[in-house]
Amino acid sequence: MKTFVVIGLGRFGTAVATELSALGHEVLAMDTQEERVQAVADQVTHAVTADAQDPAVLRALGVRNYDCAVVALGSDVGASSLITLNLKELGLKQVICKARSHVHRKVLEKIGADRVVFPEHEMGTKLAQGLSSSNVLNFIEFSDDYGIVELAVPRSWQGKAIRTLDVRNAFRVNIIAVRKASSPGTLNVAPGADCMLEAGDNVVAVGRGDDIDRLHEVR
């Protein structure tokens, strides 16, 4: 079990706090608005009405002893920046922040944020990846540069071995798993070069976002 502080209980912060709690972690949820705090009080470990812009408040709540803080105040650049600075000065191990723009992101990174997220952008990216090609079943962006995609085996790949396709050189991506149609529910992780791809199979590939995009063009 890990311990988390979630600051800002809008839609994003509330979703993060309640889901972390549902997964069995200890969660301290904070907001300056009493009604927001009350709305999640029964779904998290602790819920308090407090202003995280005051470092004395954070010290009193023992925030420095938590594993990670999520600053979910993306709409208030000044507040999220000050809170992030307070958390880093208290020595918190990991601070993840929501940003509203690339400028906001740069500010947060400059003052020590360990990770900055754009929830709407990331969800939009996943949706666009799915809509851009009927082959794409799922897309996960795990950094600004790299992602993992699961897609149905294109017609031109069917009946061929991974070795023959040489996707590493052709597309600069690596096939890390194959879900065989002949074995529903089974995922062949790290398939060999001689693994044959057939109609109905799915492949899971990892690579840079631009290179993964090129897979959408394969028919």
Sheet containing 115-117, strands listed edge to edge, beginning at the edge strand earlier in sequence? 46-49, 26-31, 3-7, 68-71, 94-98, 115-117
Structural domains present in the chain: 3-117 (3.40.50.720), 122-215 (3.30.70.1450)
| pLDDT category of residue 214 using cuts at 50, 70 and 90 | confident
Here the tokens at position 168 are 């590493």
For 185, other C-beta atoms within 10 Å of its C-beta total: 6
Q: pLDDT tens digits for 93-144? A: 899 999 888 888 889 999 999 998 877 666 555 555 554 544 444 555 555 5
pLDDT at res. 121? 62
Q: Are residues 90 and 66 in contact, defined by beta-carbon separation less than 8 angstroms?
A: no
Q: What whole-number distance in Å separates Cα of residue 126 and Cα of residue 137?
A: 10
Percent of the chain with pLDDT strictly greater than 90: 48
Q: What is the mean pLDDT of the chain?
A: 85
Q: What whole-number distance in Å separates Cα of residue 190 and Cα of residue 195?
A: 10
Q: Are residues 134 and 163 in contact, defined by beta-carbon separation less than 8 angstroms?
A: no
Q: What whole-number distance in Å separates Cα of residue 33 and Cα of residue 168?
A: 52
- Confirm whether pTM is higher than 0.85: no
Pinpoint the alpha helices (H) of 65-159. Answer: 77-89, 102-110, 119-132
